[in-house]
Chains A and B, each alone.
Chain A
Amino acid sequence: MSKGMSETGYLSDEELDNGPGIPSEGRRRRGPVAVLECIQDIPCNPCEASCPEGAIQVGEDITNLPHLLEEKCIGCQSCLPVCPGQAIFLVDESSTEDVSRVTMPYEFLPLPEKEETVIALDRAGQELGDTTVIRVRKTDKMDHTALVTIEVPKEWSMRTRAFKLKR
């Protein structure tokens, strides 16, 4: 088994496969869905309350891991900016083209602009390659956490978790 998150700081493939918040490939192909990369029993539950569909379950013990009920998730992104651990992403693999969309929280300035080319990074910060920014959202309710959507080759959709600007 490869080294896990407690040694490297990022999820191993095994941990990703076993996470209770990770949607199946079938669900990802049907449209945008939340990916909850939270596998440690820390006391936290804002994601549960943020979901208008009841698709995230933590339960009374707030150290429980968040479970994703993937059929209930409508991909609305409400949970992304409220996660203090920035551990929630939105993945959309529904395109018939060979591309997927990944939405992630972003707390750096300057923000990228729509259609800007940025470098996709994986969980370990390794460069995957150039990608295009599709959308940048920042509202008062999101409290300074922007959501940035980038378009990546389909095989990167479960690997891309950050990006860096080229400028």
Chain B
Amino acid sequence: MRRCEMISVGAGPAGLAAATEAARNGVEVLVFDENDRPGGQLFKQIHKFFGSEEHHAKERGFDIGYGFLEEAEKLGVEVSLSSVVMGIYENRTMNVLIRDRIEQVRAEKILVATGASENMIPFPGWTLPGIIGAGAAQTIANIHGIKPGENLLMVGSGNVGLVVAYQMLQAGCQVSAIIDAAPRIGGYEVHAAKVARYGVPFFMSHTITEAGGEKWIESATISQVDKEWKPIPGTEKKFELDTVCIAVGLNPMTQLLDMLSCKMVPVPSLGGRVPAHDLGQETSIPGIYVAGDSSGIEEASTAIIEGRIAGLAIAHSLGYIDDSSFLEQRDRQFKSMVGLRSGSHGEARKIAKEYINAVMKG
């Protein structure tokens, strides 16, 4: 059985930030990712990021991804791709399916940075081909360079829906409309303005009620909803189209943590059941850490900071950083997080994270 000091499950923004931060402090790090390329969602993010300079603001997501990979290589971080962590067992032992063989590996510290999966909503016809997650549309267009469809409807006005709608326009698709059951746009208004000025209408307080088509989606019907989000008869609008993108939120991928019986907390504002964790991102199971969307849905810039905090905490607990240096470096990350978890979009996440930290304390 192979042994190492730290394993990150996931090579997305949180996993890579943790791996590089820990490696910089001397920790021997191994990263597993089930995908055949690293970066998680970063390489699909062709838009410029928000935040401050320290958060890589105005850099495009894929450039941030390349930066991390370069740094990881320089620091000697081993990234093992096409490697599915099948389970984590007692004493931080895990089974990993690496292409066609299974390896057993044991680590002193494990970071679970497995990200999130997309929520779906059921409606008549929802299994027709052409109805896809907004993340899938991004993968098809931005990773594989293929237009997902000619004419699409975006369901959901959060940042994912808005950003992907804009990217679909860039790919040359028509976007018939962006709809949301909520009365107000969920994402950043400036992202909404980017699509509105090219003529994409917003239908707020609307939901998709039906998809029609024989072998592929050919039409979608939307209806206005009342205050209880129930469709109002007589308000139907029908669009002829070939694609519907669903962007109705994400939920944390916590299967590996569930297997370990990690303490979980239901927090709707963070996407569902999230693992309790302390200020150093350690879960209720000693030696098991969590960062990024798997610890509660936020965004890439917060995932990077959480990853760095976890990397520092791991380096500290392994004895690579002394107490004062650790606290000083961690404080710097906390300060960097303040701006990202404030304002009308961030405040709720700040409160939710404080609640999770409090649950962890007991």
Given A9-B192, A42-B188, A62-B339, also A162-B50 (CB < 8 A): no
**Cβ B58 vs Cβ A125 within 8 A:** no
Given A9-B195, A40-B190, A126-B199, also A143-B57 (CB < 8 A): no
A145: nearest chain-B partner, CB-CB:
B48
Residues of A within 8 A of B185 (CB): 5-7, 9
Chain A contacts with B in 1-60, Cβ cutoff 8 A: 5-11, 37-46, 49
Query: How many Å lie between the Cα of A5 and that of B183 in the bound state?
Result: 12
B74 contacts chain A at the CB level, 8 A cutoff: no
Stretch at the interface among B87-95, B215-223, B246-254, B342-350: B342-350
Q: Which of B59, B60, B193 is A85 in contact with, Cβ under 8 Å? A: B193
Instruction: For residue A71, give the distance in angstroms from its CB to the closest CB of chain B.
Output: 25
Residues of A within 8 A of B64 (CB): none
Which has the most chain B C-beta neighbours within 10 Å: A42, A126, A161? A42
**Cβ A108 vs Cβ B57 within 8 A:** no
Residues of A within 8 A of B60 (CB): 143-144
Chain A contacts with B in 79-120, Cβ cutoff 8 A: 82-87, 107-108
**Cβ B190 vs Cβ A43 within 8 A:** no
A121 contacts chain B at the CB level, 8 A cutoff: yes
Chain B contacts with A in 46-72, Cβ cutoff 8 A: 47-53, 55, 57-60, 63
**Cβ A9 vs Cβ B183 within 8 A:** no
A70 contacts chain B at the CB level, 8 A cutoff: no
Given A7-B185, A108-B170, also A63-B339 (CB < 8 A): yes
B189 contacts chain A at the CB level, 8 A cutoff: yes
Query: How many Å lie between the Cα of A147 and that of B340 in the bound state?
Result: 28
A-B contact count (CB 8 A): 128
Given A5-B192, A40-B190, A108-B169, also A125-B339 (CB < 8 A): no
Instruction: For residue A80, give the distance in angstroms from its CB to the closest CB of chain B.
Output: 12
Chain B contacts with A in 224-245, Cβ cutoff 8 A: none
Q: How many residues of A contact B (CB 8 A)?
A: 41
Query: How many Å lie between the Cα of A5 and that of B195 in the bound state?
Result: 12
B200 contacts chain A at the CB level, 8 A cutoff: yes
Interface size class of B (residues with CB under 8 A): 35 or more
Residues of B within 8 A of A138 (CB): none
**Cβ A9 vs Cβ B170 within 8 A:** no
Chain B, residues 189-209, CB within 8 Å of chain A (1/0): the string is 111111111111010100000
Instruction: For residue B16, give the distance in angstroms from its CB to the closest CB of chain A.
Output: 21
Which has the most chain A C-beta neighbours within 10 Å: B52, B53, B58? B58
**Cβ B50 vs Cβ A9 within 8 A:** no
Given A123-B197, A161-B197, also A8-B49 (CB < 8 A): no
Query: How many Å lie between the Cα of A137 and that of B35 in the bound state?
Result: 38
**Cβ A43 vs Cβ B342 within 8 A:** yes
Q: Which of B53, B55, B342, B344 is A61 in contact with, Cβ under 8 Å? A: B342
**Cβ A43 vs Cβ B51 within 8 A:** yes
Given A43-B343, A46-B53, A49-B53, also A11-B193 (CB < 8 A): yes
